[in-house]
Chains A and B, each alone.
Chain A
Amino acid sequence: MADASIKKNSDIFVVSPEKLRRQRAAKFIGEGFLLAIASFVAVVVLFIFYFVAVDAVPFFQERGFAEFFTSTGWYPADDPGEFGALAIIYGSAMVTIGSALIAVPLGIAAAICLSDVLPFTVRQYAKPVIEMLAAIPSVAYGFFALVIFAPLLQNFGGTILMWAWWLIAGPFVLLAVIVIADVLAARVATESKERSLRTVLTLLFGIAAIGVLYGVGRTLSAIEILSGTNALNVSIILSFMALPTIVSVSEDSLQAVGRELREGSYALGATRAETIVKTILPAASSGILAAVILGIMRALGETMVVWMASGNSSQIPDPWFNYLESIRTLTATIAGDMGEADQVTGSARYHVLFAMGLLLLIFSFISNFISERIVVRQRKILAGE
């Protein structure tokens, strides 16, 4: 009797066996379809890796590893050619690090501003504008860098450096002064004197910091830039190309930090600055890191801008951190040399370009792997494990 009533009732809710079969079939097909797409992408990546590697191996078989990684002599067209890629690898590293140094602090600061400082209406309009930077084709950036920015750097290089230093480093340094004075005052003084001590310290440090900022700025203004197609030019342009990714993805992950975390922090008496630095940033750190890696990968893999505006000299600058000298990157070398090299398929000159491509692929795999690991670990820490 009971069985019958259950069956009767459940008949209303449970679908008929036939419909269930159809649903299962649909689910199976759907899942299979998605799996196929996902594996297709994975297979494509593997194929690219495989074909680049296949054409890169003959180079190392013929010439070994030593020359490629330790020599700076890059004369591929000579007979016999020289294929030292050290300076070129170094050039790639230089513009990647240079653009990261500019784009990461600016990008994260901008993301924090958009997410937690500026009113919502500003964010509504500012974010799409920043994201639009990503829509500009890279050849347009390259053209700008070569035809407009390089002559500007040559003519007003020192002045541009000075103002860039004041405008970019200035706010960060002054912010640091305020935070340091704040912390020191809280450590040293009693509660009644804390406020006045903080003011005094802020003023003192502030004057010192302004002195340093001004001094460095004056020194920079004396610098003469002979040729505007150099590592600095490319780093600046690349940082603009990496910014939208960093700002947008960081801002998303900052927004994703739960309201209860913010409210909890304020409830404990934290200021807005403390909430941002001690609560929101750590909570969003894995997302921000992913944003940074994505941005840096954009800078490392970018070809057109570096080809047009880096000057393409296969040299290690003197001194090694001199961003005002022309450099050459892996991507630009592949782009620049492919035209002739592919006509003589099978030569070392052809295969060396694949060796460079392989190197780039390996770089991006490693950095993706590392960022993945850090993100996973960060999640565990946040989850309290």
Chain B
Amino acid sequence: MKLMKKLFLFAALLSFAAAGPAQAKDIVMDGSTTVGPVAKSFAAYFTKTTGVQVTVSESGSGNGAKSLINGACDIANMSRAMKDKEVAAAKAKGVDPVQHVVALDGIAVVVHPSNYVSSLKIEQIRDIYIGKVTNWSQVGGPNAKIVVIQRESNSGTQDSFKSLVVGKGNAITKGAETQASNGAVKSRVGSTPAAIGFIGLGFVDDSVKPLVVNGVKPANETVKDGSYPVARPLFMYTNGQPTGNVKKFIELPKTDDGKRMISELGFVNKY
């Protein structure tokens, strides 16, 4: 991967050299793997329509922030808001981070369709995930041990779910099964009557049943209006108010093509 990164940089340099001074400045993006798909899809579109090269590295939100602070990128992709510490560090270096919401990321908590539990409070979901509740009967379901399914520790969805539901300082139960992708979680929940799992909203289909959380149904509308609690905005950060190509790029989510790309990727449009 380190090599890949170097290759990327090399490619970026080459394309920079090829573009020459006549072309406008290329855009360099770095940061979250969750925002990555959106950024990459935008980048391909932007290059096709304007001829401006866009480089996207996916090194995690924290590294994205670092890159922006060090002036190594034009846009930092982040799946969380910048921490105070990071903003202070930026200010100290004369960088003024400006937040732009790209899209919203809703996470559906899903169970097997045969499970007659259809609604849970967010505290109940937390108790299931930290191992305090271990049987469906404790939350009004059938008498069966709950099979808890989570994602690998490198997953952005896992990260959001932990901060939105499980909470800081709580550890997910050691008995939780770990699956490698949204698809794998869906397939496990769809074939396991006692399972509970969470997947990106875009992945929900008939094979699983999304739970109503705190009385709110997970759907594009409820994520958009902020009433669905297991959702978060995805950000892009720039140094100061963007101008020129960067401004055009940042405003893509407001365009029709941008909206189409976002919903195709399973995210929810903010605008």
Contact = CB atoms under 8 A, between A and B. Distances in A.
A151 interface: yes
A308 B180 contact: yes
Given A228-B192, A344-B63, A345-B2, A339 B154 contact: yes
A146 B184 contact: yes
B177 A311 contact: yes
Contacts of B180: 307-308, 336
Interface string B35-58: 000000000000000000000001
Interface string A338-351: 01111111000000
B1 A342 contact: yes
A340 B178 CA distance: 15
Contact of B152 (A150, A311, A336, A342): A336
Contacts of B147: 226-227
B142 to A, nearest CB: 12
Contact of A77 (B2, B153, B176, B192): B153
B194 interface: yes
Given A226-B144, A340-B153, A315 B175 contact: yes
Contacts of B144: 226
Given A77-B154, A227-B194, A343 B63 contact: yes
B173 to A, nearest CB: 8
A76 interface: yes
A31 interface: no
A250 interface: no
B127 interface: no
Interface in B55-83: 58-60, 63
A336 B184 CA distance: 13
A76 B162 CA distance: 14
Given A227-B177, A229-B188, A312-B179, A343 B153 contact: no
B171 interface: yes
A151 B191 contact: yes
A359 to B, nearest CB: 19
B178 A154 contact: no
B193 interface: yes
Contact of A76 (B33, B153, B191): B153
Interface in B160-198: 171, 174-180, 184, 187-188, 191-195
B115 to A, nearest CB: 13
A313 B178 contact: yes
Contacts of A326: 175, 177
A146 B187 contact: yes
B154 A312 contact: no
Q: Which of B147, B153, B159, B193 has the most CB of A within 10 A?
A: B153
B176 to A, nearest CB: 6
A337 B192 contact: no
Given A77-B159, A342-B2, A345-B2, A154 B175 contact: no
Contact of A337 (B152, B191, B193): B152
A383 B105 CA distance: 71
B145 interface: yes
A198 interface: no
Contacts of A78: 171
B191 to A, nearest CB: 4
Interface string A56-87: 00000000000000001111111000000001
A196 B131 CA distance: 62
A288 B58 CA distance: 49
Contacts of A87: 174
A325 B177 CA distance: 10
Contact of A325 (B58, B175, B187, B195): B175
B178 A328 contact: yes
Interface in B1-54: 1-2, 33
Contacts of A154: 191-193
A147 B145 CA distance: 21
A360 B239 CA distance: 46
Given A154-B192, A227-B147, A336-B154, A344 B60 contact: yes
B73 to A, nearest CB: 15
5 contacts: A77-B153, A146-B187, A227-B147, A326-B177, A336-B180
Interface of A: 72-78, 87, 146-147, 150-151, 154, 226-229, 307-308, 311-315, 325-326, 328, 336-337, 339-345
Interface of B: 1-2, 33, 58-60, 63, 144-145, 147, 152-154, 158-159, 171, 174-180, 184, 187-188, 191-195
Can you list the 10 inter-chain pairs with the closest CB atoms, starting with the nearest? A340-B154, A312-B178, A77-B153, A311-B177, A315-B174, A151-B191, A342-B1, A227-B147, A336-B152, A343-B59
Given A313-B175, A313-B178, 7 more contacts: A77-B154, A77-B158, A146-B187, A227-B147, A313-B174, A315-B174, A340-B153
